[in-house]
């Protein structure tokens, strides 16, 4: 026979059949654990590891990061490192102390997130007759009875939480791998088409450019999921094969022999805007007829090492998407510059336009501009033309990246 099945909430809180069933299930499970009938289920967990796992799996429980912060504050009132769900784990902080440990969370916000934690089955209210939170101690000073919040449901869900966190990690890993594959396909296709246009290769490159434009960034949601990326990957694999075949069929027998010296005449420093504008009319300029030798090409001005008075952390917060294209994350400015070089090729910004932007703005500022363009890709009709316009302003000392970042920051507030 169970000692206590349920505790009804104090005041205006209502008792539901769902809450009653949860409390009955927890009580029954606790009795089995105390009787040694739990099998492999111990009902215990390290509280900090459990909170970390719950943070990863919070979407499955419908919890916000603020709700997790509040739960962390409640857990901090327990003295034991390991939560033992075989018995009640009741904490009874005052409203003021709970607010302090929750980093100053407002009382109304605390009540809202407490309700979310109860609805998620991670917390029970053990309200006293007058709704106050307190404990009664025996003659030895040990807690005899306590009223507050019971954390036992959290401990009893440890196995499910850890399993869900592992599933979330595996899904995130698969998503990162898929993003990498899609990114590499986009990059390679972009470079092949760029080379074909700059080398004036035979073939229907206009049609291929239009198709690439349609399946590129312009058709993607802001945060594509596995399903969307798998569909895009399949299309890119098929399209890449067509692009590669078109390029290979344009090569002469001498070029197919692999002699690099025979291919030097195809290299040119084209000023064309590559035709990968998104959500707008394509504007393809004709590739110039003259060829430039490597000896005549203007080297990049390494005076482009101009610095910007913007922290990398601020840039990451304002432009989070570019981090998806940096292998190993954005740890320094060089990581950002490399990621920007990749993204600009997929946006259809020519190597010539990119080189001029880096020279006029400095490498850091040019990389920030590309990161901002990626965030606003749905609004920019011609990324190549847009960057050239900013470059002209930079050459006239009439350009700054700060207003661009500030505009993005205001949008995210």
| 3-state DSSP of 96-154 | HHHHHHCCCCCHHHHHHHHHHHHHCCCCEEECCCCCCCEEEECCCCCEEEEEEEECHHH
Tokens 């930079």: give the residue: 394
Predicted local distance difference test score (pLDDT) of residue 76: 93
Q: How confident is the model at residue 218 (pLDDT cuts 50, 70, 90)?
A: low
Which of 100-109, 110-119, 363-372, 391-400 is predicted least confidently? 391-400
Which of 44-48, 54-58, 71-75, 327-331 is predicted least confidently? 327-331
On the CB side of 321, CA atoms within 13 Å amount to 19
Q: How confident is the model at residue 294 (pLDDT cuts 50, 70, 90)?
A: very low
305 has pLDDT over 50: no
Predicted local distance difference test score (pLDDT) of residue 300: 35
Structure tokens at 319: 């432009």
Say which residue, 346 or 236, is predicted with more confidence: 236
Number of Cβ within 10 Å of residue 382's Cβ equals 22
Tokens 């009640």: give the residue: 88
Domains in the chain with CATH codes? 17-156 (1.10.10.10), 164-296 (no CATH), 302-412 (no CATH)
On whether the CB atoms of residues 279 and 381 are closer than 8 A, the answer is yes
148: left (phi over 0), alpha (psi -120 to 50) or beta: left
Q: How confident is the model at residue 67 (pLDDT cuts 50, 70, 90)?
A: very high
290 has pLDDT over 90: no
Predicted local distance difference test score (pLDDT) of residue 265: 39
Tokens 């799996």: give the residue: 57
pLDDT digits (tens, 9 = 90+) for 197-214: 888 888 888 888 888 877
On whether the CB atoms of residues 134 and 146 are closer than 8 A, the answer is yes
Say which residue, 158 or 324, is predicted with more confidence: 158
Question: How far apart are alpha carbons 195 and 210 in whole angstroms?
Answer: 16
Report the mean per-residue pLDDT for the chain: 78
Q: What is the mean pLDDT of residues 155-169?
A: 93
Q: What is the mean pLDDT of residues 159-169?
A: 94
The phi, psi pair for 293, rounded to 5°, reads -80, 160
Question: How far apart are alpha carbons 283 and 53 in whole angstroms?
Answer: 50
Predicted local distance difference test score (pLDDT) of residue 151: 92
Question: How far apart are alpha carbons 390 and 380 in whole angstroms?
Answer: 13
255 has pLDDT over 70: no
Would you state the torsion angle of the CA atoms of residues 117, 51, 30, 22, taken in this order, to the nearest 10 degrees?
20
83 has pLDDT over 50: yes
């Amino acid at each position: 026979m169970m000692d206590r099945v349920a505790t009804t909430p104090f005041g205006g809180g209502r008792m539901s059949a769902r809450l009653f069933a949860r409390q009955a299930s927890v009580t029954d499970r606790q009795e089995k654990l105390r009787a040694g009938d739990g099998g492999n289920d111990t009902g215990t967990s390290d509280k900090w590891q459990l909170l970390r796992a719950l943070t990863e799996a919070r979407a499955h429980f419908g919890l916000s990061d603020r709700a997790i912060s509040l739960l962390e504050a409640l857990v901090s009132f327990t003295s034991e490192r390991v939560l033992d769900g075989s018995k009640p784990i009741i904490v009874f902080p005052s409203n003021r102390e709970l607010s302090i440990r929750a980093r100053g969370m407002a009382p109304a916000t605390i009540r809202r997130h407490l309700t979310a934690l109860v609805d998620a089955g991670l917390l029970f209210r053990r309200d006293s007759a007058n709704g106050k939170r307190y404990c009664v101690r025996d003659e030895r000073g040990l807690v005899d009875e306590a009223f507050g919040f019971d954390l036992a449901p959290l401990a009893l869900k440890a196995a499910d939480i850890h399993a869900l966190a592992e599933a979330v990690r595996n899904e995130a890993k698969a998503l990162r791998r898929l993003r990498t594959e899609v990114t590499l396909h986009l990059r390679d296709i972009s470079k092949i088409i760029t080379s074909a246009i700059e080398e004036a290769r035979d073939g229907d490159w206009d049609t291929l450019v239009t198709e690439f434009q349609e399946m590129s960034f312009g058709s993607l949601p802001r945060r594509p999921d596995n399903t969307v990326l798998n569909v895009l990957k399949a299309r890119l694999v098929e399209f890449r094969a067509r692009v590669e075949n078109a390029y290979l069929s344009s090569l002469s027998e001498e070029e197919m022999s692999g002699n690099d010296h025979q291919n030097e005449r195809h290299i040119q420093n084209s000023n064309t805007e590559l035709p990968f504008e998104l959500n707008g009319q394509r504007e393809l300029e004709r590739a110039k007829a003259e060829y430039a030798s490597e000896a005549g090409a203007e080297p990049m001005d390494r005076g482009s090492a101009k610095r910007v008075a913007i922290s990398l952390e601020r840039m990451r917060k304002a432009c989070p998407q570019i981090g998806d294209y940096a292998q190993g994350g954005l740890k320094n400015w060089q990581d950002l510059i490399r990621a920007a070089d990749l993204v600009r090729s997929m946006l259809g910004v020519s190597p010539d336009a990119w080189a001029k932007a880096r020279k006029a703005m400095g490498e850091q500022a040019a990389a920030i501009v590309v990161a901002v363009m990626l965030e606003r890709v749905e609004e920019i009709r011609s990324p190549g033309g847009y960057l050239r316009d900013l470059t002209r302003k930079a050459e006239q000392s009439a350009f700054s990246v700060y207003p661009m970042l500030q505009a993005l920051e205001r949008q995210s507030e």
